[in-house]
Amino acid sequence: MKKIILILSLLSTISVGQDFQLEVSNSRKFPSLPDSMTLEEFQIIDRHLGWKELFTSVIYPGYNHEYALEDSTADKIKTIRFIASGLVIAAWADFTFFGKHEIASVSFQEMVQESPRDATAFSLGVAVNIFFTIYDWGKAQLLLKEKQSQIYYKYKTFIRK
């Protein structure tokens, strides 16, 4: 038993040491930046919208446009998505509480059959939320790439990543 513990601790020590050596030897080389480039321009070039930002925008409306420094569009997206979420909640509440249905056993098919108005409002709210989540991510991608292209054009000597 002591031999097994000794061998495992030796192997873990060696593997940690190798990871440290790889980290030290894999140092990044930074391109030389123009002297006139501002910090804000460098931050715009360094930004990237990926899957993490898409999933964040599902929870936080307008996140991607804020990330791309488009605050007015982000505010509009927030407003639209909050109204759509309110529509979903109002339709669900109208069907369950005022329609005297149990909350745990409500299905969308039942809502369509008994209250088409609530089903339509619910569907519209969900569709608007999905559409503006995708719009937030896609349009912010285009805006960010456009800003980055303008900065690259301004500093022609800047080396792309």
* Tens digit of each residue's pLDDT (9 = 90 or more) over 74-132: 999 999 999 999 999 888 888 777 767 666 667 777 777 787 888 899 899 999 999 99
pLDDT band at 14 (very low <50, low <70, confident <90, very high): low
Residue in 136, 144, 141 with CA at minimum distance from that of residue 84: 136
**Dmax (CA) of the chain:** 73
Give the pTM. 0.68
Average pLDDT, the chain: 79
Angstrom distance (rounded) from CA 158 to CA 31: 8
